[in-house]
Chains A and B, each alone.
Chain A
Amino acid sequence: MTNVSVFRRQAIRAAVRIHEHLQGPAHHGSVVTLPHSAWEDLCQTAQRLRHADNQGWRAASQSLIHDVDYATHRFQREMEGLRQSLLARSQPEDIASSRDIANDLLALGGEFAEVSIDLQEHSVSVLTAGIELEDVYLGSFRIVLVWERIGQRPAYSCDAQEPNHPQDREDITHPHILDHQLCEGEGAASIKASLRAGRLYDFFLLVRQVLGTYNAESAHVALANWNGGLSCHGCGSWVSEDDYSCCDRCDDSVCSDCSWMCSSCSCSVCSECSSFCSKCDERYCMPCLATRDGKTLLLCETCLEAQQKDESDETNDNVSVQPAASPSPAASEAPAPTTDSVCVGEAPVPARSGRNGSRRVRRQPARRPLARRRRATRTASVLGSDGEV
């Protein structure tokens, strides 16, 4: 028996089993999942844009418009995927016949260097040609579909055959693959639809085309940084060695999106070493913020003084003040800060434990601040003509 006829028999057997799975467990097991995460992300991003618009922060608004567009696009994709899944459940006759599935499997040989079927593992795999994106050679990928997992996620994996990792990131073998899982982006709805319908030829073609396309706007690691760079301690995104800053408080390296300039002492700080004043909404390093006894709201010196003045005018009671960071013994005995002092309390920020390795790598942080204060040397390009600093 020739290899061709062996493969043909395997394809027919696999097609029958795939068809049975699609008619049964895949069809009835799929859960309606609303895109809550995408919706919440869109709502938060839109709220930040509204705030920036209300404050007249033009540079921040321009940046946030792109974020809203991205979030909208993501929500739209996930809703479309949901529609397709509902449509498939309401129209079971749209599932490919065993014959069509078998023809799909047999036709894959014309598109891929290697096609194999493992009846015991319930898998079909194809080998792509070598993939090179922007002069970075990533090698060929084996796309392995486990048909019993159709209807669950993930049903397939993309395994690099000649892994070319970015520096210190062995979990990434392609700008859009993390831990062997492809982030399908624009292809998500079509890929899902093709799997549900059993159109395996279309499925493998779609995955191959995603692998062959580079989206610089949304990569785990940008190809420009594939052979160098470091990970932002704030959001985990990859930054080139020329495009990061160090927090003056904790010394961690952060990207420009996670870097702030204190509105009081002008030090450069990361998101964890800084916060917004609850009153004026400006950003400060933690030593330049304070809380009052019994309160958790952080206030800058100016707002704190204003609040104290209001209250003393009303009640004539003195209140004690607790700084946001633990003060040195000498500072704790000092009198209430005067208008000339820069920081309410000055204390070293405890060393951070390091990068959160459990956070998924993102090019943009999950929560982007409304307004930025950046180093003057690095931020000339984002300043608006309204003099926003």
Chain B
Amino acid sequence: MKVLFINNDGGGFADHIEVHEGTTVRQLFQERVESGKPDNYLIRVNRQPVPSDQVLQAGDRISVTPVKIEGAQ
């Protein structure tokens, strides 16, 4: 099934990706953000905070935004 995955870490990519039925939010995060810990990110499904074990549905919009983003001068 297809979902929209938005990775706001780095370049800010937004892609429609294919995931297996029954994939949870945690599984998708581990697959897509390999070096990241969930605690260091704001994870939203359809713009809402959700439990990590929530099962994704077709057409879901998942966004991953780092908690700490360093500004500059």
Contact = CB atoms under 8 A, between A and B. Distances in A.
Interface string B42-72: 1010011000000000000001011111111
A208 to B, nearest CB: 9
B69 A186 contact: yes
A183 B66 contact: no
Interface in B1-56: 6, 8-14, 42, 44, 47-48
Give the interface size class of chain B: 20 to 34
Contacts, number: 102
Interface string A181-200: 01111110111111001010
A182 B70 CA distance: 11
Q: Mostly helix, strand, loop or mixed at chain A's interface?
A: helix
A175 B70 CA distance: 11
A183 B72 CA distance: 5
A274 B43 CA distance: 54
Given A84-B12, A194-B12, A176 B72 contact: yes
A187 B47 CA distance: 19
A218 interface: yes
B8 A194 contact: yes
Given A194-B12, A199-B6, A205-B42, A187 B71 contact: yes
A184 B72 CA distance: 6
Contacts of A182: 71
Contact of A176 (B9, B13, B63, B71): B71
Given A110-B47, A187-B70, 18 more contacts: A110-B48, A176-B72, A183-B71, A185-B72, A186-B71, A187-B71, A190-B9, A191-B12, A193-B11, A197-B14, A201-B47, A205-B65, A209-B65, A209-B68, A209-B69, A211-B71, A212-B67, A215-B71
> Which 6 pairs from chain A and chain B are nearest by CB?
A176-B71, A190-B12, A193-B12, A185-B72, A107-B47, A215-B70
13 contacts: A176-B71, A183-B73, A187-B69, A189-B10, A190-B10, A190-B65, A193-B13, A202-B63, A206-B8, A209-B68, A218-B70, A218-B73, A362-B73
